[in-house]
Amino acid sequence: MALRLSENFRALFYAPFYAAEATGAFKDAGIAVALRPSSDPAAAQRALLANEVDVMWGGPLRVMNAHQADPGSPLVCFCDVVARDPFFIVGARPRPGFVLANLIGLRLATVSEVPTPWVCLQDDLRRAGIEPGHVDRIVDRTMADNEAALAAGTVDAVQLFQPYAERLVASGAGHIWYAAADRGLTAYTTLVTRREVKESRRQELVEMTRALHRTLGWFDATPAAEIARVLRPYFPDVDGALFAAAIERYRRHRLWATDPVVRREGYDRLHAAMRSAGMLRTDIPFEACVDTSLAREAMV
């Protein structure tokens, strides 16, 4: 029986997951994987808990929240893929030497679709000695709305992922001020399963992890234009040259993991951001949410 794998939502920074399917890495690992679409991260998590899928990719943030709500939650992360934060702050004009304090007095439109980008950015602000509430923030627009607003000059800066950021840069309407990936490891997207699936289908999950490990190596070694060509069916509306530029920028910022082992450093950074944002009321141990044994076995 095929492993049912749910996407979180369609996003370019999830490219390695699509590449594992498109390049035949899962098939080469000897496993059948059925990719299931998802409208949003919450829907993917509900499907996993309801046994409608066996694995999803998603943020450790949601797994920590699940363990906070229920210390007996079956959810566990087991394969790292997006090891850093994929979001950028894009400004309307060049800003050499940008520091986060430069946001004071500007109109910043932040991501409304998912919580993690702001949770992490507010922690960056606090670490820089800036009270997040002092930033003039627009919070209720989509990234598409914010891209248009920056181009129209009605905001000073926006928080976006690719390809929105790259499109603004390519058009001359935007300039990269800050790449959140540069803060360092931040556990952003992993494979997630239920503990009972981890036990009953362990070897298949090891092979799934091995396939993603090989895919991450392919990503590192393959020209961005070729990656864009292979993955074009998943993103038919993204121009090929723009797609390649977006991949290349992400690679420069070392977005993707070099191996599938979830690092405690990245987990701790996300955990600290959630605590500082008030999202977590208590500490959630790494061991409660992460199992590295499958990834270590897959690397042998």
Same domain for 294 and 189: yes
Q: Phi then psi for 178, rounded to 5 degrees? A: -150, 130
Same domain for 166 and 28: no
Cα distances from 163 to residues 170, 284, 286, in angstroms, run: 10, 33, 32
Q: Position of tokens 């181009």?
A: 151
Same domain for 193 and 285: yes
* pLDDT reported for residue 300: 87
What is the token pair recorded at 195?
């503990």
Same domain for 130 and 171: yes
* pLDDT reported for residue 239: 96
> Domain count of the chain?
2
Note the pLDDT tens digit of each residue in 195-228.
999 999 999 999 999 999 999 999 999 999 999 9
Q: What is the CATH number of the domain that holds 130?
A: 3.40.190.10
Cα distances from 231 to residues 5, 20, 57, in angstroms, run: 18, 10, 18
Cβ neighbours of residue 162 closer than 8 Å, sequence gap 6 or more? 12, 13, 86, 246, 249, 250
Same domain for 205 and 66: yes
Same domain for 97 and 62: no
* pLDDT reported for residue 40: 85
Measure the CA–CA gap between 55 and 59, rounded to whole angstroms: 13
Same domain for 201 and 173: no
Q: Are strands 3-6 and 175-179 parallel, antiparallel or unpaired?
A: unpaired
Cβ neighbours of residue 31 closer than 8 Å, sequence gap 6 or more? 3, 204, 207, 208, 211
What value does the mean pLDDT of the chain take? 97
Same domain for 294 and 252: yes
Note the pLDDT tens digit of each residue in 258-297.
999 999 999 999 999 999 999 999 999 999 999 999 999 9
Same domain for 14 and 159: no
Of 183, 201, 216, the domain-final residue: 183
Of 183, 211, 244, the domain-final residue: 183
Q: What is the CA radius of gyration of the chain?
A: 19
Q: Phi then psi for 80, rounded to 5 degrees? A: -80, 140
* pLDDT reported for residue 8: 87
Same domain for 131 and 74: no
* pTM for the structure as a whole: 0.96
- pLDDT-flagged residues of the chain (< 50): none
Of 156, 183, 210, the domain-final residue: 183
Domain that holds residue 154: 88-183
Same domain for 195 and 176: no
Cβ neighbours of residue 14 closer than 8 Å, sequence gap 6 or more? 7, 8, 57, 81, 82, 189
Cβ burial of 251 (10 Å; 0-12, 13-18, 19+) is middle
Same domain for 202 and 161: no
Residues in the chain: 300
